[in-house]
Amino acid sequence: MDVQRLIGEVAKRHNVLVGHNDPILITLTLNELILGEYIETVNLLLVDAQDQVSAGTAQQTEAAKQIASELITGAAAYIAEQMHTAGDQTTAQMLQLLKAETNLARQQATQAEKSRKGAFVAAMVAATCAALALGLLIGKMFLR
């Protein structure tokens, strides 16, 4: 605080001359000292409050990261489980379809085997009939 400047300003504004040992200047000095200590205390409290807010913010950020991580992990596990279930269902459907196709192929193979045997029997019957007819024809030729 510049006492000389204050004395000059009081004289200029109020036309009053104040001396260096005037009680008002002593009061002003005491007021400045008290306010300085108060401001220093408030500044220390502000720094402490800022530190606490910063620590709280860091703690909340860390908690939010943890929650987000758990949400992502849970969602991934859920999706993996859903994919596994869908895969199991698709596999079961494919096996069921394959079993039905295999049964159909077996039925067709059985039917083809029956047809083959029927064709063989028919060929034997035809060959027997042809041999019999040939024998009758030859016999008729010799008997004439």
For residue range 10-61, list pLDDT tens digits in order: 899 999 888 888 898 889 889 999 999 999 999 999 999 999 999 999 999 9
The neighbour count for residue 115, using CB atoms within 10 Å, is 10
Angle 59-61-64 from CA coordinates, rounded to 5°: 110
Model pTM score: 0.45
Give 73-100 pLDDT, tens digit per residue: 999 999 999 999 999 999 999 999 999 9
Place of tokens 């300085």: 36
Residues 118, 115: Cα–Cα separation, whole Å = 5
CA torsion 10→15→20→26, rounded to 10°? -50
pLDDT of 99: 96
